[in-house]
Amino acid sequence: MKVLAIQTSANDDGLTARCAQTALEGAQSAGAEIELVHLNQLNIKHCQACERGWGICRTENRCIIDDDDFEPLRQKMNAADGLVFASPSYFQDISESARRFLDRLRRCEARRKDGSPLGDKPIIGIGAAGGSGAGAANTSLTLEMYFRRIGLKIADLFPITRFNADYKLKAIHEAGRRLIAK
């Protein structure tokens, strides 16, 4: 069993990264093979909204942009048994890199007639507000909307701040441990 975590903060040592790593440690304690992807280290281009917003993403379930890291990351997600997606709260919402990736993923997966390979795959969503603590709930809500549109099975959602991290990290570890448990 494999669990893939995608963390979308530019700060590899901050709360968002710590949350993703903690979920992976929980999954690993249950015997899962784990992998952490730092989204900001990848080249993910913006959706071009081709053909009035619904190009080949709608008809062929792939993106016309083929010279970046979107498709390889999408394939990693397809191959995983469970997923963790962690975003910092920037201006009370998901990070720019998270939105860039999720916008394209949503377009490619949401209208598949053959069913998405991501459909019913368990995912933990984490919205982390490290500075002021503002926006963690909104960030988690945005993640929930994307996950539901894509068809992912939400195992848990965690709005977390630096003020509640001590006990929420324990819950994130446990959620990671249970993510792929039968």
* Average confidence (pLDDT) per 10 residues, the chain, 182 residues: 98 97 98 98 93 82 94 97 98 97 92 79 97 94 96 97 97 97 72
What pLDDT does residue 168 have? 98
pLDDT of residue 158: 98
What pTM was estimated for this model as a whole? Answer: 0.96
CATH number for the domain including 121?
A: 3.40.50.360
Domain region containing 160: 2-178
Chain-centroid distance of CA 147 in Å reads 8
Per-residue pLDDT at 182 = 61
* Rounded Cα distance, 15 and 18, in Å: 5
Contact 139, 159 (CB under 8 A): yes
The residues, ordered by sequence, that sit 6+ positions from 157 with a Cβ below 8 Å of its Cβ are 124, 125, 126, 127, 140, 143, 144
Number of domains present in the structure of the chain: 1
